[in-house]
Structures are given as structure tokens and as C-alpha cells.
Amino acid sequence: MLHTPFYDPEKSYEENFEQGPFGTFSDGQSVQSVQSVQSSTLHKYDFLGFKVNSPFGIPAGPLINGKFVQAAFDKGFDICVYKTVRSKKYPCHPWPNVLSVKIDGDLTLEKAKGKLIADRNYHEPLSITNSFGVPSFEPDFWQKDLAEAVKNAQPGQVVVGSFQGTKKEGQSVEDYINDYRITAKMLKDTGVKVVEVNLSCPNEGTNNLLCYDTKRSVLVARAIKEVIGKIPLIIKIAYFKDSEELSNLVKEIGNIVQGISAINTIPAEIVNEAGEQTLPGEGRSKSGVCGHAIKWAGLEMVRKLKKLREEFGYSYTIIGIGGVMNADDFFEYRKAGADAVMSATGAMWNLHLAKEIKSRL
């Protein structure tokens, strides 16, 4: 059963930012009583050196400001990633930003080469496309807002600060990497306990996705670690079709970072019933798909990352994401080798998901 989502797809990003969250995320009630009943699980799990009540949370994307983070904590999501920020204000794509996608079964790479029909009819099994363009408010706002979210986290809960660099026309490689340094310092100044750098969104690297450019990803990761020091660093990556490319990336970066988060989305061309582009604006014919249809890819990446960790003798934390729609999906990810698991689409429409998982831990 789909609940009222805490991010309303019928409203613009700005309206959600000002008015949200919605559904039971807005009732101000905490599910901490669930944790007190199951006191044996309190602070039991390790996440990058921090003790958390559960190895479960919400990744970068739906938690667009501190109000959303606080609501997620109240509902028992213990690892919350504050939506990806930048060094300067960056606009959001026009509405609509979220649509339901019609997919029969898994979104295989072969299916992703074709066109997917999307509309506003959200139904189970749920898959969606989200097209925001990684917007960001000014650092003056998000630094203060993120610092407040960090301060409000209760024992057993962790806020992760997510960010990415911004590519500009005529920018040198050094200027591009320096933008990561600048934003990493801004994040460090908020007091955030864990930092995540997004290497998995389009148009930020030389090969479309930065995570597919091993050399530059390593340069970026080293630059960030120079700034944040002992603060754990997670890299968020996309699905890798080529196992050798993934192996090369992990070999070069796995001893620099403390965590690897996978996956983001699988891109596909999104159209309406008439076969026309349904997300308005230039550069939006393709959009990332998430939800139940990409679980296979997330699980596959977790298994590969676990194998590579053992092969290279590394100790990075594996965060599994993609198609976690219910408690069974969470446990499937844990069995595959995920140290922590996160849900975006599933959590948005099932606001009790953390409570359901905790009842089985």
C-alpha cells in the first residue's frame, strides 16, 4: 500500500522546500518508542565509526532540507543524507520533477535503451523517474540548515552531508577540482560527521559520469580528504556494466575513501503515452529511473564491491541503494554484503519502512 509521500510530486521543488514534508512525516510524532521496546538494538550497529540504532536510512535526494531530515529521524531512519549541495546556488529543473514509470519487471540495460512511458499514476510495484538537476541553495542557507540538522540528531543517528562539484564553461581541471575543495571545507565547517561526494550524476566529469573517470575521481577524492581530514568520506557511484572498469576504480580509490554507496539511478528516455518528451526543457529527454525496477542492479553492485573489497584487502563500508521498497529488500541487501542500506523511493511512499525493518532486527 502506497502512503501519501513525504515529498509531493504534484508540487514544485520550491513548494516542497517551503511547505514539506508531507504525509505522516509532518505529524511531528516520533517512533522512538519502538526503539525503547527493542533496547537491545540501540546503538548496536557500526557505521563508519559511529554507533547507530539501525544500519538503515535515506540517501541523498528526498531529504531536501533540515525539516525533512528531522522528520526522517523521528520516523526511525537513523542514517540521513542531506540533499546534495554545491558551492553556489544552482537552479532546479522545472516541474514536474518526479513521475511514475511503467516498467514490466526489471529495468534491464536493454530496456533502458528504449523509451519508457511516464505519468502521474503512482502504483505498486513502484518505479519513478526523478529529474531535479542537483539544485542547491546558497551556502549561507544550507550551511546553517545542515549544522542545525547535525545538532538535532539523537544518539544512534547520523547526518551525512552530500555534495558535488560544479562544472563551468572554460573551467580548468584544477579549478574544477578546487570547487570540490571549497565545498568540502564548507561542509566541514557545519560539523557534519560524515561527508559524501556525488560522482554519479551527469555532466560533471569527462565521461558524462565522474565515477566512470577513474583518474579524475581519484584526484577529487584525494583533494577532498586533504580538506576534511579524519571525517569519513563516502563516494556515491552509478551502476557499472563493465566489471573491469569498476575494479580499476575500486583499486585506485578504495584505500582513499571510507565508504562506497551504490547505486544512484539507471538513465532512460522518458516519454508520455504519445511518445513525446514528457519532462520539459533542454537536456531532459533522458532521466534517471529508481524504485523496484533497479533493485537487481543495486544488489549486483553490492556483491561486486564486497568481492573487490576482499580481493584488494580494503575496509571501506558498502552502502546499498536501489529498489529497497520493503523490509525483505533491506535484508536481501544485507545478505548480499551491504553494511548499511538506504531507500529513497520506498521511503518516500512508505513512511513506516524504518519501523517495519526495526521490528525484524
Residue identified by cell 519502538 is: 34
What are the phi and psi torsion angles at 72 (to 5°)? -65, -45
Strand (E) or helix (H) holding 141: helix 139-152
Sign of CA dihedral 49, 53, 59, 64: negative
> How many other C-beta atoms can be found within 10 angstroms of the C-beta atom of residue 141?
13
Count of alpha carbons within 13 angstroms of residue 109, beta-carbon side: 5
Q: At what angle do helices 139-152 and 173-189 cross, to 10 degrees?
A: 40
Bridge partner list, 286? 269
Active-site pick, 80, 92, 201, 290? 201
Q: Are 232 and 258 spatial neighbours (Cβ–Cβ below 8 Å)?
A: yes
Cα–Cα distances (Å) from 328 to 6, 17, 134, 271, 324, in that order, read 22, 31, 30, 32, 8
Give the span between the Cα atoms of 25 and 19, in whole angstroms.
12
Give the span between the Cα atoms of 265 and 133, in whole angstroms.
13
Question: What is the length of the chain?
Answer: 361
Cβ neighbors of 199 (< 8 A, separation 6 or more) are 164, 205, 209, 210, 211, 217, 220, 235, 236, 237, 238
Whether 290 is a known active-site residue: answer no
Residue of 54, 1, 48 lying closest to 24 (CA atoms) = 1
Q: Are 233 and 224 spatial neighbours (Cβ–Cβ below 8 Å)?
A: yes
Residue 136 class from Cβ within 10 Å (0-12 exposed, 13-18 middle, 19+ buried)?
A: buried
Catalytic residues: 201
